[in-house]
Amino acid sequence: MRFRNSLAWVPLALCVVCGSAQAAPRAPFLLPKAFAQPPPERGVGLGLFSADSSYRYRMLVDEVVQTGATHISVVWVWWQDNLRSTTIANKPGWSATDEQVVDTLKYAKSKGLHVTAFPIVRLQNSGPSQWRGKIAPDDEDAWWSSYNAFILHCAQLAESGGADRFSVGSELLSRERMRSRWREVIDRVRLGHPQLELLYSSNWDHFEPVSFWDLVDVVGLTAYWELTRDLNPSVSELVMSWRNIRPQIEAFSKRLGRKVVFTEVGYPSLDGGAAWPWDETRKAPVDLDEQRRAYEAFVRAWGGAEALQGVYWWNWFGFGGAEDTNYTPRGKPAADVIERWYKGKKG
Tell me the pLDDT tens digit for each residue of 31-78: 455 689 999 999 999 999 999 999 999 999 999 999 999 999 999 999
89-99 burial, b for 16+ CB within 10 Å, e for fewer?
bbeeebbbebe
- Helix, strand, coil percent content, the chain, rounded in steps of 5: 30, 20, 50
Is the per-residue pLDDT at 260 higher than 60?
Answer: yes
Is the per-residue pLDDT at 27 higher than 90?
Answer: no
Is the per-residue pLDDT at 181 higher than 90?
Answer: yes
Residue 32 pLDDT: 54
Give the burial class of 266: count Cβ atoms within 10 A of its Cβ; 0-12 exposed, 13-18 middle, 19 or more buried: buried
Q: Are strands 308-313 and 260-265 parallel, antiparallel or unpaired?
A: parallel
Q: How far is CA 323 from the centre of its chain?
A: 23
pLDDT one-digit tens code per residue, 205-237: 999 999 999 999 999 999 999 999 999 999 999
- Higher model confidence: residue 202 or residue 129? 202
Residue 347 pLDDT: 63
What pTM was estimated for this model as a whole? 0.91
Mean pLDDT along residues 11-30: 37
Residue 20 pLDDT: 34
Domains of the chain: 41-342 (3.20.20.80)
Task: State the alpha helices, DSSP H only, in the chain.
Answer: 58-66, 98-110, 140-160, 179-192, 235-241, 246-256, 288-302, 333-342
Q: Which residues contact 13 (CB under 8 A, 6 or more apart)?
A: 50, 51, 52, 55
Report whether 94 contacts 10 (CB < 8 A).
yes
- Higher model confidence: residue 132 or residue 13? 132
pLDDT one-digit tens code per residue, 64-116: 999 999 999 999 999 999 999 999 999 999 999 999 999 999 999 999 999 99
Mean pLDDT along residues 6-14: 33
Q: Which residues is 213 bridged to in the sheet?
A: none
- Higher model confidence: residue 237 or residue 11? 237
Residue 184 one-letter amino acid = E
Q: What phi and psi, each to the nearest 5 degrees, are found at residue 207? A: -90, -25
